[in-house]
Amino acid sequence: MLERLQRLLGLQTIPGVFFTSAGIAVLFVAVAVPYDKEVSGTFGILTGWVAANLGWFYILSVTSLLLFLLALAVSRYGTIRLGSDDSRPDYSNLTWFTMLFAAGIGTILMFWGVAEPVSHFANPPFEGVRPGSDQAASDAMTVALYHFGLHTWTIFAMPGLAIGYFAYRHNLPMRISSLFYPILGERAFGPWGWAVDVIAVLGTLFGVATSLGLGTLQLNSGLSYLFGIPSTGWVQVLLIAIIASIAATSVALGLDKGVRRLSQLNIVLAILLILFVVAVGPTVFIAEGMVQSVGDYFDALPWLAFWTETFRESDWQRQWTLFYWAWTISWAPYVGIFIARISRGRTIREFVAGVLFAPTAFTLVWFGVFGLSAIHVEMDGQIALAAQVQQDPSVAIFAFLEAFPLADAASLLSVIIIIIFFTTSSDSASLVIDMLTRRDDQPSLTRQRIFWAAAQGVIAATLLLAGGLDALQNVITSLGLPFCVLLIFMAVALFRALRADYQGYSVSELVQGRAFPEVEAVATPKKESQNV
């Protein structure tokens, strides 16, 4: 029946994945629009249960994956390429980095670059720390870097590495289900694999929708600041519709013409904004604070990575850390596939070093400039920044820029950056979802990619109307859990395949049980690698 429907609509998909994912998304919107309060309340209850009972699982999983990736990079497997042994990268390091950043957390940094450090400065997460104190400032920067540094990029790097490895080295389809071939065998291409891909599609849809929702809130605040446009739900829906239309145009152009050019443009604009704040802001304070913040971050990382608020009755970690991890995990399939697609030819060591440390370095600079400057503004009493952020975090960067000359021009530049980040997130996610819902031998139809771009916008609008920021946080914290489990299995499958590859066995030999005979315990390759 689904195949008949596909032919009727003129689509090129895996019907079980496409129509199941689309059907669940449509059902969610159909229920959430008339019953917004009930849906929001249900996810609030579910989020509370997840935070109370499984928060430790999120914390332990992400930290364990970080250690796994670092160990993999320095191990004997680090020299294995994502592709044949003689393959080389498709993109230069600079182009690769700009695409990583724009498709990853550009929108998030624009929203939280000022809002999070100021929030923690005014309301310290640790007991015994006085709000507004020097220790509160130091802790605020440390926690912000923890949330957006190595741990965030671990969540993106894990699926990206696994997908790139199986796709380019073993010629498996570039879908999440392919990563489970060493575990499921041929069942990875049937209903079991389809179920995995449906989870990945839904996680991507809701994860990117959450990012679009946050971006819309911030964009509305910027337009309200610049032009007096009211901050209302229907204005936000209109903004989503406009941006979705821009994203649909970009996604129709494809990866190289659309996403790459927008990514390169936006990284230049983001650097201009950074240079502006450094030039007109507390330059020496930024430089000193950045050096200290890097030290504080790496000093606190070993214990902070395992901190679970065990001895404290607080909702802080649910609102911040668990939300970030679940949010990042939910759209990790999209970012992972996107990163894999632009990373062919790199060694595992190059991939891990680039994906973990290059964007983290930029994140350190971003928070060093915006976070430290915002804390300086608050400490000097130039404007009541903390009060405005606590009332509405979406106004943070615009309220912050009021403390500097050329505030209107800087705010307008910020709005442009938000729009482009908005667009690159949506169009690259649409390309990836289309890849997840069709076979490699099927053409990528423009109307399918546009459908997924529209779906992201509709879900984002629905979540905003259902409860704004709280609804975004509750839905994504709940939905991130299934894919967190998949990430663990993904690491296991990748390690098994790498071990077989290093010893000269193909993935198919691994599945058939012909790899790793008990009498052989080799530490060097036996024969040349071969594809499936």
For the CA atoms of 496, 499, 502, 504, the dihedral, rounded to the nearest 10 degrees, stands at -70
Q: Give the mean pLDDT of 440-457.
A: 85
Cα 183 to Cα 466: distance, rounded to the nearest angstrom: 40
Q: Please tell me whether residue 347 adopts helix, strand or coil conformation.
A: strand
- Amino acid 193 reads G
Specify the pLDDT at position 514: 54
Instruction: Report the length, in residues, of the chain.
Output: 532
Residue with tokens 């998949």: 486
Looking at residue 515, what DSSP letter applies? S
| C-alpha torsion sign, points 38, 482, 480, 258 | negative
- Report residue 524 CA to chain centroid gap: 36
pLDDT at 522: 35
- Contacts of residue 507, Cβ cutoff 8 Å, sequence gap at least 6: 166, 170, 172, 181, 182, 497, 500, 501, 532
Q: Which residues contact 42 (CB under 8 A, 6 or more apart)?
A: none
Q: Which two tokens stand for residue 341?
A: 């697609």
Q: 355, 160 in Cβ contact below 8 A? A: yes
* pLDDT for residue 528 is more than 50: no
The total of other beta-carbon atoms located within 10 Å of residue 12's CB is 17
Tokens of 458: 């509709």
Q: What is the pLDDT of residue 518?
A: 37
Q: Please give the average per-residue pLDDT across 342-346, as a whole number.
A: 90
Q: Which residues make beta-bridge pairs with 81? A: 347
Class of domain 2-511: mainly alpha
What is the phi-psi region of residue 254: left when phi exceeds 0, alpha when psi lies from -120 to 50, beta otherwise?
left
* H or E stretch covering 288: helix 283-304
* Segment (H or E) for 65: helix 36-74
Mean residue pLDDT of the chain comes to 84
- For 87, residues 6+ apart whose C-beta sits below 8 A from its C-beta are 81, 168, 344, 345
Q: Quote the distance between the C-alpha of residue 511 and its chain's center.
A: 31
Q: Place 112 in a pLDDT band, splitting at 50, 70 and 90.
A: confident
What is the predicted pLDDT for the residue at 263?
A: 67
Question: Phi and psi for 185 in degrees, rounded to 5?
Answer: 65, -140
The mean pLDDT value for 344-373 works out to 92
Q: Quick one: how far is CA 406 from the chain centroid?
A: 32
> Is 242's pLDDT higher than 90?
no
d(CA 114, CA 120): 11
Overall average pLDDT of the 337-355 stretch: 91
**C-alpha–C-alpha distance, residues 512 and 360, integer Å:** 40
Among 216, 273, 226, 270, CA closest to 247: 216
Summarised one tens digit per residue, pLDDT across range 191-212 is 999 998 998 898 888 888 877 8
At 532 the pLDDT is 40
Distance CA 241, CA 249 (A): 13
Listed ranges 173-187, 230-244, 367-381; the one with the highest mean pLDDT:
367-381
Q: Where are the alpha helices (DSSP H) in 305-406?
A: 316-317, 323-330, 332-341, 348-380, 385-391, 396-401
Worst-scoring range by mean pLDDT, 33-47, 266-280, 491-505? 33-47
Supply 498's token pair. Answer: 């790498």
Which pLDDT band holds residue 356 (cuts at 50, 70, 90)? very high
382: three-class secondary structure by DSSP:
coil
Q: Does pLDDT of 519 surpass 90?
A: no
Structure tokens at 304: 């902070």
Per mean pLDDT, which range of 199-213, 243-257, 381-395 is the poorest?
Answer: 243-257
**Out of 2-11, 102-111, 156-165, 456-465, which region has the weakest mean confidence (pLDDT)?**
102-111
Q: What is the pLDDT of residue 531?
A: 39
Position 104 scores a pLDDT of 54
